[in-house]
Amino acid sequence: MAKSYDVAGLRDVFPSSKKITYLDSGFQAPMCVPVKEKLEQFIASSFEDAGPKSGWIDEMEETRRKLASFINASPEEIAFTKNTSEAMNIAANALGLKEGDEVLMLEGDHPNNAYAFMNLAQNGVSTRFVPMPERVDGAYVAQYVQDNTKAISMSLVTFHAGHLFDVASVGRLCRERGIHFVVDVMQGIGVTPVDVKAIGATFVGSGTHKGLLVPQGLGFLYWNREFADAKPAYMAAITVENPPADFIARHDNMALAATARRFEIGNFNLPGAMALGAALDLINEVGVHEIEAHCYDLGDRLIAGLDKLGVKLVGPRDRKARAPHIYVAALPADEWVPFLERMNVRVSPERDGIRISLGMFSDAADIDRFLKVADEKLASIAA
């Protein structure tokens, strides 16, 4: 039976949604009650009882299990990172790419994904940007693959226009051709269902401060352990299979952990990981498919409204090609972002307009308020 979508109830869980017309979840999530309570619990236990570090670590491991199940992975395949950039850099350096190898990427994709690979130039690895059309799938990418193409890296959802790419078919192409595939799911996860087995990548990385609802400073990296040769560029005690109990590093104890722990470096963002556990409980309670469907419906309403105003949508319109929650309206950002801010409507400047991005708590009234404010401004410009 389909769950009913209680958006009014969710607005109580995201109180700022009742004060601001918040259309900027693609920038960062406003804090929700369960995340705030979890962070307060962390602060209280640290402040009042000097904190049970082992208990916090247990909670982090519980979050690792929840996150793994959320993306159809096993906990052994998940490393916690600082953010997407760190996840992408770990991945780029773990693939064993050599001088003369090439990495394919999409022109204009997120720089935090691209630079990680561009930096491999110091090892003689080249990167090539291929044009980004509205739809990217395996057949499209195949035409650019050369003999020396050893990896492809791309985003699931683009931040600047809301494309939703068919990463599963690119993953199939990569498996057929023996090419590594790395996917940045930062802009999609939490709203678009992510199934790492269906994607079939070597690595999938993300931060957690958008659809996963926690403050900045936590990310993760999924590692497909079939690619057992993948090795970290850095080491720490936790990276090895048997971290020395006496805290003395020895040359005969450098065997890497068999799990994704081999990619983790030093102490963790424990409050972030604990908050992520609470956020995942909320997302699972609402249902990621329900969040996706809700955002698609709001997106349809927004597109119809923009059409009526004669404002062009940048990026795909079709549900098959667009993400549920990211829409760019071709309105000059320099003028419109500050204007909307004054009207208590929060959006982001984007390269071709203003980005309206939705979260699980967004509602039809948010869309209608944006459209009404935009209509009034357009009318005043025309007058």
Ligand X SMILES: Cc1ncc(COP(=O)(O)O)c(C=O)c1O
Q: Among the candidate windows 11-19, 51-59, 83-91, 255-263, which touches ligand X by CB under 6 A?
A: 83-91
Residue 276 lies near ligand X (rule: CB under 6 A) = no
220 touches ligand X (CB under 6 A): no
Q: Compare residues 295 and 374 and give the one whose CB is closer to ligand X.
A: 295
| Contact status: 155 vs ligand X (CB under 6 A) | yes
* Contact flag: residue 184 with ligand X (CB under 6 A): yes
Query: Cα separation of 382 and 228, whole Å?
Result: 62
Q: Amino acid identity of 319?
A: R
User: CB neighbours (10 Å) of residue 57?
Assistant: 15
- Is residue 245 within 8 Å of 309, Cβ to Cβ? no
Q: Can you count the helices (H) and strands (E) in the chain?
A: 12, 13
- What is the residue type of 373? V
**From 25, 113, 224, 362, residue interacting with ligand X (rule: CB under 6 A):** 113
Contacts 24+ apart (CB under 8 A), 43-52: 43/271
Beta-strand relationship, 345-346 and 21-22:
parallel
CB-wise, 155 or 169, nearer to ligand X?
155
- How far apart are CB 211 and ligand X at their closest, in Å? 10
By CB under 6 A, residue 85 contacts ligand X: yes
Question: Among residues 162, 207, 211, 316, which is the contact residue for ligand X, using CB under 6 A?
Answer: 207
Contact (Cβ atoms closer than 8 angstroms) between residue 188 and residue 164: yes
Q: Which stretch binds ligand X (CB under 6 A): 71-79, 90-98, 109-117, 165-173?
A: 109-117
Pick one of 89, 112, 239, 362: the residue that binds ligand X (CB under 6 A).
Answer: 112
Residue with smaller CB distance to ligand X, 171 or 219: 219
Please state the closest distance from residue 237 (CB atom) to ligand X, in A: 25
Written as six digits, the tokens of 72 are: 């159809």
Contact present, 286 and 254 (Cβ < 8 Å): no
Cα distances (angstroms) measured from residue 376 to each of 9, 347, 383: 30, 17, 10
One residue of 159, 181, 327, 370 binding ligand X per CB under 6 A: 159
CA 319-165-123 angle, to 5 degrees, is 165
CB atoms within 10 A of CB 179: 20
Contact status: 89 vs ligand X (CB under 6 A): no
Q: How far is the CB of 200 from ligand X (least distance, A)?
A: 19
Q: Interacting stretch for ligand X, rule CB under 6 A, among 67-75, 106-114, 167-175, 293-301?
A: 106-114
Pairing of strands 102-106, 126-130: parallel
Instruction: Please give the size of the binding site for ligand X, defined by CB under 6 A.
Output: 13
Q: Does 84 bind ligand X (CB under 6 A)?
A: yes
**Is residue 153 a contact residue for ligand X (CB under 6 A)?**
no
Distance, CA of 116 to CA of 228 (rounded, Å): 21
Q: Comparing C-alpha atoms, which of 317, 378, 329, 324 is closest to residue 356?
A: 329
Question: In whole angstroms, how close is the CB of 362 to ligand X at the nearest point?
Answer: 18
Minimum distance, C-beta of residue 84 to ligand X, in the bound complex (Å): 3
Identify which range of 36-44, 136-144, 181-189, 287-295 contacts ligand X by CB under 6 A. 181-189
Candidate ranges 132-140, 180-188, 293-301, 363-371; the one touching ligand X (CB under 6 A): 180-188
Output 82 or 225, the one with its CB closest to ligand X: 82
Among 186, 212, 311, 313, binds ligand X (CB under 6 A): 186
Q: Identify whether the C-beta of residue 151 lies closer than 8 Å to the C-beta of residue 95.
A: yes
**Cα dihedral: 270, 274, 280, 281 (round 10):** 170
Q: What's the distance, Cα to Cα, between the start and end of the chain in Å? A: 51
353 near ligand X, judged by CB under 6 A: no
Member of 162, 211, 219, 316 binding ligand X (CB under 6 A): 219
Q: Which residues bind ligand X (CB under 6 A)?
A: 83-85, 110, 112-113, 155, 159, 184, 186-187, 207, 219
